[in-house]
Amino acid sequence: MEPLIGMGVLALIGVAATIAGASEDLESDVGSQSNPNSQVQLAPQMMFPHRIYNKAVSGEPPSNALMCSVGAAVATVLISEFTLSPLFALVIGSLVAACVHGTFAVTSTMGRAASQRRFKQPVYLDMIRSHTPVIMGYSFITTFCVLIVSYLMTVVLGHPFPLTMLAFIWGITVGAIGSSTGDVHYGAEREFQQFEFGSGLNASNSGNIVRYGESGVRNGYDNSWFCAKFGGPVTGIAFGMTVFLGSWVTTIFDPAVSIARGWLSVVAGVVIVLILIIWNWKIEVKARNAFGPYKEDKPEEASA
């Protein structure tokens, strides 16, 4: 393939992946999914009933893998059986995936609330009606962008895996990244904004999530509004970087040309990883100096 075309496709893949990552995180914030949801789940038990969606659709990786592989399977059928244009096929596939995801979301929030009968957590139907379309909308964007990434990789870059399997793997990856990065902003900061900034959640405050908003009762919209300012975009950058850098090293140093080129791509990848290690270390040092220790160093004074 022409290196220039390869670069263009790669840029498109990177953009689509970035959007997918951002919408994946916001989807999990508006519905409250994955690990931060353990606090939403705990809240009624601690006498804090709430009006926050309890979208316990397993972890984010399986749920995103499900969305993406449903979308890819439907798109594959439409492309090969009905000879539909790939763009339409991917849109329809994503639409079906969003509907399937909607049923998972509705059943889990109703089921979890119903299983908290003794803590007097009501099921708010208006909250379910208003949040489910937003969840489906975000999941549509995520699925569509992941399908674009997978489709371009399969058809244009010539990856040997079939579309559905590639979409499945990228679904697992986008979920793993989303739950590792953006969710922390929701879980550690937004859910517990009433406590002092600059520390982790004190275990004694577990379950005491913020339940009232700027006006009225807080809901998932307020959470995604907040997370869209930081958690969502950085998740997008993370997934975009993963997909882009992973393919970039083999596009710059094409292993099809020679084995030596292939090894250069490996070296380039290792250099990227080393840079990231050093970057993390720099941030750590900066944070230690800027925020300072939380405790006095008593034992060391005593020993000295």
Partner 1 sequence: MIDALMANILWMVFIVVGGVLISWSVHFVPVGGAPAAMAQATGIGTGTVQLAAGAGLTGLVSAGFMMNVTKDLPLILASGAVGAMIMISVTMIVGTWVYVYGVGCVPSSAKVKVDPITKYRQDLYVSQGTEGHGLPTVSFVSGVIGGCLGGIGGALIYYSLIEVGVTAGLAASASSSVTGNELVGIAAMFAIGIFFVNAVIPSYNIGGTIEGFHDPKWKKWPKAVMSSFVATILCAIVAVIAISQLGGI
Partner 2 sequence: MSAGGAGGGATAAYPQQTIMAIGAVGGLAGIYLGHFMPPAFSFFGGLGAICAIVWGADAVRRVASYGLGTGVPSIGMIALGMGIVAALFGLSVGGIAGPIVSFIAAAIIGAVIGVLANKVIGMGIPIMEQAMVEIAGAGTLAIIGLSVVIAGTFNYADVVQNVVANGYIALIFIIGGMGILHPFNANLGPDEKQDRTLMLAVEKAAIAVVITGFASSLHEGLMAAGLNIFVGLVIWAFAFMKYYELVKRDAFSVVGTGLLPSAEELE
What is the contact mask toward partner 1 in residues 6 to 35, using x (rule: CB under 8 A)?
----------------------------xx
Q: Which does 125 bind (CB under 5 to 8 A by kind): partner 1, partner 2, none?
A: partner 2
Q: 216: alpha, beta or left, given left = phi > 0 and alpha = psi -120 to 50?
A: left
Per CB under 8 A, 165 contacts partner 1: yes
In the three-class reduction of DSSP (H, G, I as helix; E, B as strand; rest coil), residue 50 is classed as coil
The sign of the torsion formed by the CA atoms of 31, 35, 41, 47 equals negative
Q: Which residues pair with 217 in a beta bridge?
A: 212
* Nearest distance, CB of residue 83 and partner 1, angstroms: 12
Query: Which CB atom, from 107 or from 280, has the smaller least distance to partner 1?
Result: 280
CA distance 40 to 219: 11
Q: Which does 90 bind (CB under 5 to 8 A by kind): partner 2, partner 1, none?
A: none
What is the contact mask toward partner 1 in residues 35 to 74, using x (rule: CB under 8 A)?
xx-xx-------------------xxxx------------
CA distance 33 to 87: 30
Per CB under 8 A, 113 contacts partner 2: yes
CA distance 30 to 272: 33
Among 66, 192, 218, 224, binds partner 1 (CB under 8 A): 192
Which long-range contacts does 71-80 make (Cβ < 8 Å, 24+ apart)?
71/96, 71/97, 71/143, 71/144, 71/146, 71/147, 71/167, 72/147, 72/150, 72/163, 72/164, 72/166, 72/167, 72/168, 73/164, 75/147, 75/151, 75/163, 76/162, 76/163, 76/164
Per CB under 8 A, 283 contacts partner 1: yes
Per CB under 8 A, 277 contacts partner 1: yes
Of 166-205, binders to partner 2 (CB under 8 A) are 166-169, 171
Q: Which does 36 bind (CB under 5 to 8 A by kind): partner 1, partner 2, none?
A: partner 1
Segment interacting with partner 1 (CB under 8 A) among 49-57, 94-102, 112-120, 255-263: 255-263
Among 98, 166, 218, 219, binds partner 1 (CB under 8 A): 166
Per CB under 8 A, 249 contacts partner 1: yes
CA distance 57 to 106: 10
Torsion of CA 154, 144, 146, 9, to 10 degrees: 50
What is the contact mask toward partner 1 in residues 98 to 127, using x (rule: CB under 8 A)?
------------------------------
Please give the radius of gyration of the chain, using alpha carbons only, rounded to the nearest integer. Answer: 22
Q: Which does 208 bind (CB under 5 to 8 A by kind): partner 1, partner 2, none?
A: none
Segment interacting with partner 2 (CB under 8 A) among 5-13, 109-117, 141-149, 228-236: 109-117
Per CB under 8 A, 207 contacts partner 1: no
On whether the CB atoms of residues 152 and 11 are closer than 8 A, the answer is no
Among 26, 74, 136, 172, binds partner 1 (CB under 8 A): 172
* Nearest distance, CB of residue 25 and partner 1, angstroms: 10
Residue given tokens 């406590």 in the structure block = 195
Cβ within 8 Å of residue 199, ≥6 positions away: 294
Q: Which residues pair with 212 in a beta bridge?
A: 217
Q: Which does 50 bind (CB under 5 to 8 A by kind): partner 1, partner 2, none?
A: partner 2
